[in-house]
Chain A
Amino acid sequence: MAFKPIYILILGVTILVDYFAAFLIDKAEGKQRKWWLVLSLVANIGFLAIFKYFNFINQNIGFALNLVGMENPIPNYGLELPIGLSFHTFQAMSYTIEVYRKKQKPEKDFIVYSLYVMFYPQLVAGPIERPQNLLVQFHTYFVYNFENIKQGLIRIAWGLFKKVVVADRLAIMVDYCYSNPTEHSGSALLLATVFYSFQIYCDFSGYSDIAIGCARLMGFNLMENFNVPYISKSIAEFWSRWHISLSTWFKDYLYIPLGGNRVGEYRLYLNYFIVFTISGLWHGPSWNFIIWGALHGTFLILAIYWQKHIGFKLCKNNFNTGLQIAFTFILVTLSWVFFRAQGLSNALTILSKIADFNSYANFYSPLSTNELCFSGLVILLLMIKEVYVPIIDTRKTPIFYMKFVGLMAISYFFGVFTSNQFIYFQF
């Protein structure tokens, strides 16, 4: 992933193509509408294919050819992934699709449309917005509102806290164990894996908080991207709470066109499998991500099959709710192993060591005991806050200042300031 000024041309081309495509789609009738949409989607997906997936596809073709004794004549090339490509192409595609579906009128103002694609708070890593939410706001005349400033700042401070106090601290243990899993005990790898669940959550939701806060400072409301995903009682619920902008994008623009749930049982399973596998692939050109996505699809299919054919349900009480949350958390955490591990073989090594209790001796952590306890405490407080105080109250200004300065001070004094960029920037 790279920030190279010349890559602004890619942004420029996709903006121009989609801006004009929207008008052509709107004016056309019948099949012609579809063709203009396809042109727009091909342009967007084309850039993704070239910059993100070409080498991966080429390597796999090479591997397949080698199996039959042939060489791949096409070399890989060293183009770096332009920063934010996966996010802004999806946002641009949602615009032309909504125009095609006649749910959005084409935006006449080129500058406003460009701003929709390039809006800086969410350009790099989302949330992936819909035109019905964001475009309309660019036509609104905003009056200065100190509440927006307060809410924006507190959101940014909370996001910063999650990133530097929690995510980057947990990353020390995760990076240490995952860089060479064969050298570490099963217990260390298990703890690192659990830590990774919270690292990636705090890292990505922290970024989203900062993005939403930055937009709010200017009076814009971006969509929420997370809703306490680790209290989910099922995989289906997890995906309604995790990276909401992406999961709803895939639901609206892939799952529903495939037929959604208005198909037969086995076609439904296939649809879920396709959507989740492609969602995994969206994260990166690697079999690890594909497997991660496919795993989630499989979990969901199994859950639906269970519900349909076995039908055993736990009675509703706190204990059973806790069991469901724990079970879902375990499934999600174990699947994160594929997301984080360097290569398939490392992922399998980690899982096998976690499953082998004989390898649990000789636990070693680069974090001291105090720091491990601190990490646990901060995770607990974080989860309590996210569940019981989803929005920090900023109505009373002096209290707001205390909270803001307090959060910033805690972030500074307890923050781990390494060169760790946000995880989702690489996608």
Chain B
Amino acid sequence: MFAFLWFLGCSKDVSVWLFEEGLTKDDYRYGDLYRMSNLSQFKELKETCQSNIKGEKVNTHLVLAGDSFTEKGRIDSSFFIAENYNYIRIDEQSNIKLDTSQFNVLIIEVVERHFRERFANQWSGLKIVQDLTDEVPELSIFHRLVDMKMPYSTELHESVLFGYDVMMKVREWKATLNYKLFSRVDKGVKLNKTEEHLLYYLPSKPGISSAFDAIKNKEIEVLVGTVNKTYNYYKGLGFDKVVLSIIPNKTSLLGKDLGNYNKLVERIQNNKNLEMPMLDLYSPFTKMGTAAYAKGDTHWSCKGQAIWLELANLALNPQ
């Protein structure tokens, strides 16, 4: 039985099918931080956010280059007033065709901890093409069934085998035991000093920047420069509006007692040389505090998402 389950977990396609058939559960359903830490006090079922868009859509084509905050499953076209909507991954190369009869808006959404990586150079993950053809090569059946990667990742197996509530309970016991006896939590998370908030806490590593990395003003200027280059590039390619959105890290707002926060978002947002308009999420999220983020997750709550959507939809209006 376990061997069969192990085999099923080798394939992403099979794991997804098992989930869609209701045979396995989404082990991120209580949040990514909860999944890492298994601390029961941060266990809260993730909300499914509803769209409150009513009325007619506007003649806008929105291209949203985003990450896990705006991915499929969280946000779709029903959340925007734009008639035409495309979502692309900010960390992948994608092709888009622009319709000049529409108001074309590009929103580049990136979480604070990935901002320095994404804008170390001009971002050019989006290519404008005249003709969209599906060039994705099809994997063979064998590869689709068993798309094993080396070094071998156990994440799929953990999801398939241990995603049930019963197993999560056992994991909670382990987490509580280690926390009470040894003050130990998963190395990817940290509790703030008052132990109210569960945060994603990593020392600086390539691609992911800690909120407590010291960032010199010179680097801020360089980052603003590449943001501006990105802005001018896509404006030149035909977008009527190009907007940047940096989602503040949960740690930056709720974990300031853990170190010296580098204020990356504010410093970019308030830089006098910045040409690209930005959605200011930092101010409302600072005011909202805990309510802006899901309890056991690094991502925003429905309330936090609603604020972002309000700002994004304002940017989509052609008038």
A residues with CB within 8 A of B? 2-4, 367-368, 370-371, 374, 412-414, 418
Contacts and interface: CB of A to CB of B under 8 A. Distances in A.
B183 A370 contact: yes
Interface stretch (B73-81, B173-181, B264-272): B173-181
Q: Which 8 A-B pairs have the closest CB atoms?
A: A371-B182, A368-B183, A413-B174, A368-B182, A370-B182, A3-B150, A413-B177, A370-B181
Contact of B181 (A3, A4, A374, A412): A374
A413 B187 CA distance: 16
Contacts of A368: 182-184
Contacts of A367: 182
Contacts of A418: 187
Contact of A412 (B150, B151, B174, B182): B174
A375 to B, nearest CB: 10
A374 B182 contact: yes
B140 to A, nearest CB: 16
Contact of B184 (A3, A4, A371, A412): A371
Contacts of A371: 181-184
Nearest to B183: A368
A377 to B, nearest CB: 12
Nearest to B152: A3
A399 B209 CA distance: 51
Contact of A4 (B150, B177, B182, B187): B150
26 contacts: A2-B150, A3-B150, A3-B151, A4-B150, A367-B182, A368-B182, A368-B183, A368-B184, A370-B181, A370-B182, A370-B183, A371-B181, A371-B182, A371-B183, A371-B184, A374-B181, A374-B182, A412-B170, A412-B174, A413-B173, A413-B174, A413-B177, A413-B178, A414-B177, A414-B178, A418-B187
Contacts of B178: 413-414
Nearest to A413: B174
A422 to B, nearest CB: 13
A4 B177 CA distance: 39
Interface string B152-187: 000000000000000000100110011001111001
A418 B187 CA distance: 9
Interface residues of B, number: 12
Interface in B161-218: 170, 173-174, 177-178, 181-184, 187
B289 to A, nearest CB: 29
Contacts of A370: 181-183
Contacts of B187: 418
Q: Name, among B151, B174, B183, B184, the residue most crowded by chain A CB atoms within 10 Å (CB to CB).
A: B184
B8 to A, nearest CB: 22
Contacts of B182: 367-368, 370-371, 374
Contacts of B150: 2-4
Contacts of B173: 413
B312 to A, nearest CB: 38
B170 to A, nearest CB: 8
A218 B178 CA distance: 36
A4 B182 CA distance: 39
Given A3-B151, A374-B182, 19 more contacts: A3-B150, A4-B150, A367-B182, A368-B182, A368-B183, A370-B181, A370-B183, A371-B181, A371-B182, A371-B183, A371-B184, A374-B181, A412-B174, A413-B173, A413-B177, A413-B178, A414-B177, A414-B178, A418-B187
A187 B282 CA distance: 44
Contacts of B181: 370-371, 374
Interface string B263-300: 00000000000000000000000000000000000000
B40 to A, nearest CB: 15
Nearest to B153: A419
Contacts of B151: 3
A413 B179 CA distance: 11
A224 B34 CA distance: 42
Contacts of A374: 181-182
B238 to A, nearest CB: 43
A371 B182 CA distance: 5
A174 to B, nearest CB: 15
A371 B179 CA distance: 11
Contacts of A413: 173-174, 177-178
A216 B183 CA distance: 39
Contacts of B177: 413-414
A368 B183 CA distance: 7
Interface in B36-86: none
A10 B187 CA distance: 38
Contacts of B183: 368, 370-371
Contacts of A2: 150
Nearest to B151: A3
A116 B170 CA distance: 41
A370 B174 CA distance: 16
Contacts of A412: 170, 174
Find the residue from A368, A374, A413, A418 having the highest chain B CB count within 10 A: A413
A396 B170 CA distance: 29
A413 B174 CA distance: 5
A420 B66 CA distance: 33
A82 to B, nearest CB: 13
A77 B177 CA distance: 48
Contacts of A414: 177-178
A413 B181 CA distance: 12
A374 B177 CA distance: 13
Nearest to A421: B151
Nearest to B187: A418
A414 to B, nearest CB: 8
Nearest to A412: B174
B291 to A, nearest CB: 32
Contacts of A4: 150
B178 to A, nearest CB: 8
A413 B184 CA distance: 12
A418 B154 CA distance: 12
Contacts of B174: 412-413
